[in-house]
Chain A
Amino acid sequence: DAGITQSPRHKVTETGTPVTLRCHQTENHRYMYWYRQDPGHGLRLIHYSYGVKDTDKGEVSDGYSVSRSKTEDFLLTLESATSSQTSVYFCATALSGTDYEQYFGPGTRLTVT
């Protein structure tokens, strides 16, 4: 295991509230990713980071922002949660790009009511 934790593991929030999910890793991996998983869709990339303060958008980045101020932490923020953001969110890390194995966190189940 790459020692990846996510917090919280479960959250219920109301529409319009801000939400921050945290991914923490202990492996000193350079790359970190945030995905969402929904029925009928594969894992979809929200944002990723290729180093401290270096981030880029994925295919479903609207409504999400990220920050990475230190190697071990990657934060995903929903500025104003909507019901369409109800999903399971996975964090993953990799030593480098896609030629390296990705290690996944346990997931966060977010419900926006």
Chain B
Amino acid sequence: KNEVEQSPQNLTAQEGEFITINCSYSVGISALHWLQQHPGGGIVSLFMLSSGKKKHGRLIATINIQEKHSSLHITASHPRDSAVYICAVGAASGSRLTFGEGTQLTVNP
């Protein structure tokens, strides 16, 4: 079993739909990261969180430390949101991240 599991692996949505991507992990962590990889390959950090909830525009990330689970929500999805979304966790006082395999999101117009 991977330390970081994402679901679903692939997700297709229609423009305007509310989208949820899930991430479960099995180790104690100090922080959880959500990343976005564009179709061209570039990777950008969306969120880093250790508790509660963060919001940036139409994106919302939540984490439940007790349940070892995080969700990334996209409201009013748009075709430009089509990308791979990657969850990664960092162990407490650690130096390295462990990555999930990513969720391929396609939003159709």
Contacts and interface: CB of A to CB of B under 8 A. Distances in A.
A101 B22 CA distance: 20
B96 A48 contact: yes
B99 A106 contact: no
Given A50-B95, A58-B96, A97-B93, A42 B101 contact: yes
A56 interface: yes
B100 A42 contact: yes
B91 interface: yes
Which of A40, A90, A102, A103 has the largest number of chain B CB atoms within 10 A? A102
A106 B37 CA distance: 11
B101 A107 contact: no
Contact size class for A?
Answer: 20 to 34
B86 to A, nearest CB: 7
A45 B97 contact: yes
B42 interface: yes
B41 interface: yes
Contacts of B39: none
A107 B38 CA distance: 12
B76 interface: no
Contacts of B31: 98-99
8 contacts: A48-B95, A88-B41, A92-B43, A97-B90, A98-B94, A99-B48, A102-B97, A107-B42
